[in-house]
Amino acid sequence: MDLHLTSKTALVTGASRGIGLATVRRLAAEGVRTVGVARTITDELKATGAVTVAADLATPDGAEHAVGAARSALGGIDLLVNGVGIGDAYATDGFLAATDDVWKATFDITLFSAVRVTRAALPDLLERHGAVVNIGSMGASVPSSGPVDYTVAKAALKALGKSLAEEFGPRGVRVNTVSPGPVRTAVWEAGEGFGAELAERAGMALPEFLAQVPSMIGMTTARMTEPEEVAALVAFLLSDHARSIMGAELRIDGGAVKTV
C-alpha cells in the first residue's frame, strides 16, 4: 500500500533504538524527511539518513531545542511521533518503592516530554493539518502489568491523546495512540534492562525468561511483537488512509489484553 507520505516531514522522539528507530526507518522508506531525536545519538540512527538531534526530552529546554532544530532542518513539521519510552528509573519493587523522585522522573520522560514537544510543534501541525501518534503501552489498560509509575504515566498519555484529538481535530490535526505489548527491543533484551531485572528476580537466564514472556502475559500470538510491526502501524496512522481515525488507541499486544 502506498501511504502517500513522500515529501512529508516528521519529528520522531526516542529515535535511537527500538520502536523509535524502527519508525524512523519506516518513514524513510516511505519518502518522509525525518528528524530523529534522542538523548544519545546511536550509529543505527545515523545510518537511517535522518537528521539527528541530541536532546534530553525530560526537560522543558530539551523539548524546545528538539522542535526548534527540527523546524529549522525541515522547514516545518507535518508529522509527530512521541516515541520516548521507559526512562532510567522505574519502580519494579512495587508502589512502596516508587519515591517522589521516581514518579517525577517517569512522568517527565513518559508524559511531559509528549506534552512539551506537542505544544512546541502545534503551530506547524495546525498550519499543515498534520498528524500525531503517541506511543503508549498496553499497561495503560492493564496497570498491574508493569511498574506502577510507568503504567500510570502511560494511562495519562492515552488520555492526553484523546483530549488533544477533541481540541485540535476540528482544526485539522489528528492525534492517536499506539499501545504495544512486549516488543523485542533493548528494554527487554539488554543485559541490564527491564527484562534482565525481571529474569533475575525469576531466577532464570534472560533468553529462557524472554521465551516465556508471551505465555506469562497471555499473548495469543505466542511471540513478542517486532518493532517493525509497530512502526508499520504508526506509519499507517500518520497517512491519509487513516484520516477518519481520530482520538483512538490501537493496541498491538498480540492479544494480551483480554477485555473488551
CB 225 within 8 A of CB 252: yes
Structural domains in the chain, CATH included, are: 9-182+226-252 (3.40.50.720), 184-224 (no CATH)
Question: What's the pLDDT score for residue 90?
Answer: 64
- pTM confidence score: 0.96
CB 90 within 8 A of CB 102: yes
The strand order across the sheet containing 131-135 reads 51-54, 33-38, 9-13, 79-82, 131-135, 174-180, 249-252
β 79-82/249-252 pair status: unpaired
Amino acid type, 231:
A
Question: What's the pLDDT score for residue 93?
Answer: 79
Convert the pLDDT of each residue in 73-96 to its tens digit: 999 999 999 999 775 566 677 899
Convert the pLDDT of each residue in 107-156 to its tens digit: 999 999 999 999 999 999 999 999 999 999 999 999 888 899 999 999 99
Q: Is the model's pLDDT at 55 over the cut of 90?
A: yes
Q: How many CA atoms lie within 13 A of 137 on its CB side?
A: 26
Amino acid type, 184:
R
Q: Which residues are catalytic?
A: 150
What is the distance between the alpha carbons of residues 188 and 69, in angstroms, rounded to a whole number? 31
For residue 64, give every residue at least 6 positions away whose Cβ sits within 8 Å of its Cβ, in sequence order, or none.
Answer: 116, 120
Question: What's the pLDDT score for residue 123?
Answer: 98
Convert the pLDDT of each residue in 202-246 to its tens digit: 999 999 999 999 999 999 999 999 999 999 999 999 999 999 999
Beta-bridge partner residues of 9: 33
